[in-house]
Structure 1
């Protein structure tokens, strides 16, 4: 895999943004080629600093089991696992629902959408960390951002795989469940 060019990154982020604005034409930015698919994992590199900030802003144990090094290694492994688990699961699920032909473009769109998702989560988490608003308001904002991100994922699944609402909901639930399991396992190591 070659590193994507700045123009390619801008092209794919534009597609992710269009999808965030509920414009199905955003999927046209993802051509379904193997090259586009593999280059979409570069979004993990771009999202990494945002993820690192989210980890730093999260309430970590005062004395993490094994020390800070264990937290860093565990979170790094968790990050890689979270980027791999969903695409791997979707290899089988997309075939099972008869959408294998849309898999490459869908995963590319889903991967680039992570840039928008992590930006929203970082804004909500950063606002909470500033402690300028009552907890109830910041929790409400965090809940709202989570619902917005889930709706965004649902739209990408519907448009990207060309499936109905129930199947799209199931795919989003799969992504959510994988994330909860991976993060839960990671945090259980050092908490």
Structure 2
């Protein structure tokens, strides 16, 4: 069962995604709220499971033969998710003073973590529809690209609302977060041959 703090944070993330800035009032920006926001990964996991199940199912036949076993495939994706979940917060914590975001860092992480649930849902829906054969793979790729664009904009708005800063700072942080995710994904794919 989802407690009131969790449901409030998820509703706040959805409201903010829909352009309602008042959604930010639903987040708990206390120290406890900061640490609790990392539990949002539990709500990302079902969407993540859909994505990797479909990805695994749609792998090319030669990759199925020469690639990692099913267990290693899932392990590589889980390790990637886990490291990706904590890497950006750790890097930002290390550079918060230099970036001038020491005071607002925790607020950004709280919103970013809970917003990750909202960001995960559309891609999982596309993956599910693709896996069920309801939309062709080519169309799914175009939809996924459009969703990535919308989610990058959402992330940009989160940075602006919590950290402020110039357009270049906001875009740079969003780009750095995306680049870090892609780098980690590439590393785990190479390590596990996935």
Aligned counterparts of 1:172 and 1:34: Cα–Cα separation in 2:
24
| Offset, 1:45 | 1.3
- C-alpha RMSD of the superposition: 1.9
Q: Which residue of 1 aligns with 2:98?
A: 96
Is 2:117 the counterpart of 1:115? Answer: yes
- Normalised by the length of structure 2, the TM-score is 0.88
Q: 1:26 aligns with which of 3, 23, 26?
A: 23
CA distance in 1, matches of 2:66, 2:90: 31
After superposition, the Cα gap between the structure-2 partners of 1:156 and 1:53, relative to the gap in structure 1 and judged at 3 Å, is same
**Structure 1 contact 124–145 (Cα < 8 Å) conserved:** no
Say which is worse superposed, 97-106 or 69-78, in terms of deviation: 69-78
CA distance in structure 2 between the aligned counterparts of 1:139 and 1:76, rounded to whole angstroms: 22
Counterpart for residue 124 of structure 1: 126
CA shift, 1:74, in A, is: 1.8
TM-score (norm 1): 0.89
Which structure 1 residue ranges, 5 or more long, are not aligned? Answer: none
Task: Pick one of 6, 9, 30 that aligns with 1:9.
Answer: 6
- Shift, 1:5, TM fit: 6.1
Counterparts of 1:55 and 1:37, CA distance in 2? 28
Range with greater deviation from structure 2 (126-135 or 47-56): 126-135
CA 178–56 in structure 1, closer or farther in 2 if over 3 Å, else same: same
Using the TM superposition, give the Cα deviation of residue 28 of structure 1 relative to its aligned residue in structure 2, in angstroms. Answer: 2.4
Query: Structure 2 stretches of 5 or more lacking a match?
Result: none
Instruction: Tell me the equivalent position of 2:34.
Output: 37
Contact 2:50 2:127 in 1 (8 A): no
Give the equivalent residue in structure 2 for 1:53: 50
Q: Count residues with an aligned counterpart.
A: 188
- Superposed CA offset, 1:16-75 (max 9, x none): 112101222222223422100100011111211211111111143313544222112222
Contact 1:158 1:168 (8 Å CA) reproduced: yes
Work out whether 1:190 is the aligned partner of 2:190: no
Provide runs of 4+ in structure 1 moved above 4 Å. none
Equivalent pair of 1:70/1:190 in contact (CA under 8 Å): no
> Is the 8 Å Cα contact of residues 112 and 155 (structure 2) preserved in structure 1?
yes
